Amino acid sequence: MRVVADIRDWGVAATLLASATLVSRSARADSARLLVFVHASVKQRALQNQIQGALPGIDVTAVGRISDFERTLKQGTDAVLALPIVIEAFKLSVGLRGYRGGSPEEAYSLVAAGTAPDPQQVATVGALDLLGRDGTNNFVKDVLGRTCRVERVSKVEDLLPLLQMQRVEAILLPARLQSEIKATSKLDLVGTELATKVGLPAASSVTALGTQVISALGKMPMNVLRTLGVDSWH
């Protein structure tokens, strides 16, 4: 009799678990979805958890590769958070812009070991992969003002090894991240700030539910904004 009772107990537990799972899935299906493609100094999972914690009721997916961004966008999302050049490349409209110090743009630096790199002389540059091979090559060309060979990586922490292994002469990154990169290296890193500015992370509404996400982004706590490299939304 006890064995039968145990089986019945497990059956009830399994039924309850299945019901809970269906409710959970249904709740996620009803939630507005935000797709994030922003390179930050923290790991992708940490970034996703930070944003998810700041946006209760919104299903957040953070990706680190442009291919994952494109695939997830095709599968369906309600809003995206990325650099304006990425948003515009996918024929979306910027609905909310990130600002820092009163500007929607930021400076980029070319960083090398030993001496400050000359943007007009470097032949090989390491850069974050924003738009695939051709798109990223064009991005680097626009920022530097000339063509050079580009070595692409998908994470901020992967830029430094390019210099350490001498695979590139310099790396290109937001100027605000230079001090963080320098703190993790024994190399004498020196940067040259470039004249061309790049748009800070922005958001775009993809579906009607995207307006909920846009509204929620404006209520983000300051610590999450700083991780994204902004201090306000407009």
| Residue range 98-129, pLDDT digits in tens | 999 999 999 999 999 999 999 999 999 999 99
Say whether both 175 and 156 belong to one domain.
yes
Cα–Cα distance between 104 and 101 in angstroms, integer?
8
Segment among 1-10, 69-78, 83-92, 179-188 with least mean pLDDT: 1-10
Residue 4 belongs to some domain of the structure:
no
Burial class (CB in 10 A: 0-12, 13-18, 19+), 105: middle
Residue 29 is predicted with a pLDDT of 52
155 three-class SS: coil
pLDDT over 90 at 56, yes or no:
yes
By residue range, what is the domain housing residue 219?
A: 31-102+200-233
Say what the pTM is: 0.86
pLDDT above 70 (res 5): no
Residues 146 and 162 in one domain: yes
pLDDT bracket for residue 15 (50, 70, 90) = very low
Percent of the chain with pLDDT over 90: 84
* Same-domain pairing of 97 and 109: no
What number is the average pLDDT over the span 13-29?
A: 38
Indicate if 182 and 195 belong to the same structural domain. Answer: yes
Asked if the structure places residue 134 within a domain, the reply is yes
- Is 25 part of any domain? no
166's CB contacts (< 8 A; 6+ apart) are none
Say what the pLDDT of residue 30 is. 73
Q: Give the count of domains, the chain.
A: 2
